[in-house]
Amino acid sequence: MATTDPSEENNVSSSGTRRTGLNRLESFSDGVFAIAITLLILNFHIPTGLSGDQVWQAIADQKDVFLSAAISFAVIGVYWSVHRRTFARITGESSALTAVNFLNLATIVFLPFPTLVMSEYTNSFAAVGMYAATIALAGFTAAATILVAWHGGLMTSSTTQDIVDESVSETIATPIIFAISIPVAAFSPRAATWFWIIAFFASRPIGALTHRLLQRRHR
């Protein structure tokens, strides 16, 4: 009669436990992203009892709310995509990975609040600075999640240092731009909001430059 090696059974059981824990962490994270992106709609408000022309004016008055919500919607979507690609390469969990992932989720679920504040006070350094800082922290903690998983040996065998460097570089490009916009907001909050448009055009070259720097460092 064939016997089963107890060590093999323990490895299978341990692997299954890690996979189950990872699946729960991914499901929880997806839920947080979904809640955060849904909460953005609560920033819109139009008074009741308006006439036809007043309704159009009330909608027009929401332009800053539309702009801030659109930026936040795009940012949350991008960071969810980064999160999904990262966890597609992760094969297990650890306390360190869970902790840094929760830090990342904390910035995401907090984002609707600075979005609301900025839509109400678009010319306030406090409002614009808090918004930019939140998005920057979301990006940096997302990059930290990649590094923690890599250095913790939690990624697939096909993942290489170059792949990690590329992922980190792409992830931190946008938060770098938002971080730079904070001192800009100290002089002109409105200019800082337009500065974010650069993120859609400059993130790729910034990511490529960061990638080359990381490659040079590891060589």
What φ, ψ does residue 122 adopt, rounded to 5°? -70, -20
34, 38, 39, 40 alpha-carbon torsion, rounded to 10°: 120
Q: How far apart are CA 65 and CA 71, in angstroms?
A: 10
What pLDDT, on a 0 to 100 scale, did the predictor assign at position 3?
Answer: 53
The total of other beta-carbon atoms located within 10 Å of residue 127's CB is 21
> In the chain, at which residue ranges do the beta strands (DSSP E only) sit?
none
Select from 160, 158, 134, 139 the least CA-distant residue to 215: 160
Give the amino acid at 11: N
Average pLDDT rounded to a whole number, residues 121-133: 91
DSSP tally for the chain: helices H, then strands E: 9, 0
> Which two tokens mark 46?
């139009």
Q: Helix, strand, or coil here: 179?
A: helix
Q: 50-91, pLDDT tens digit by residue?
A: 776 777 777 777 777 888 888 889 889 989 999 999 999 998
> Which two tokens mark 201?
């055009």
Domain locations in the chain as residue ranges? 6-218
More confident call, 166 vs 145: 145
- In percent, the amount of the chain with pLDDT more than 70 equals 79
Q: Helix, strand, or coil here: 210?
A: helix
Q: Can you give the pTM of this predicted structure?
A: 0.80
What φ, ψ does residue 30 adopt, rounded to 5°? -60, -40
Structural contact between residues 4 and 77, judged by C-beta atoms closer than 8 angstroms: no
> Which two tokens mark 218?
């590891």
What pLDDT, on a 0 to 100 scale, did the predictor assign at position 97?
Answer: 93
What pLDDT, on a 0 to 100 scale, did the predictor assign at position 7?
Answer: 47
Structural contact between residues 124 and 191, judged by C-beta atoms closer than 8 angstroms: no
Whether the pLDDT of residue 1 is over 80: the answer is no
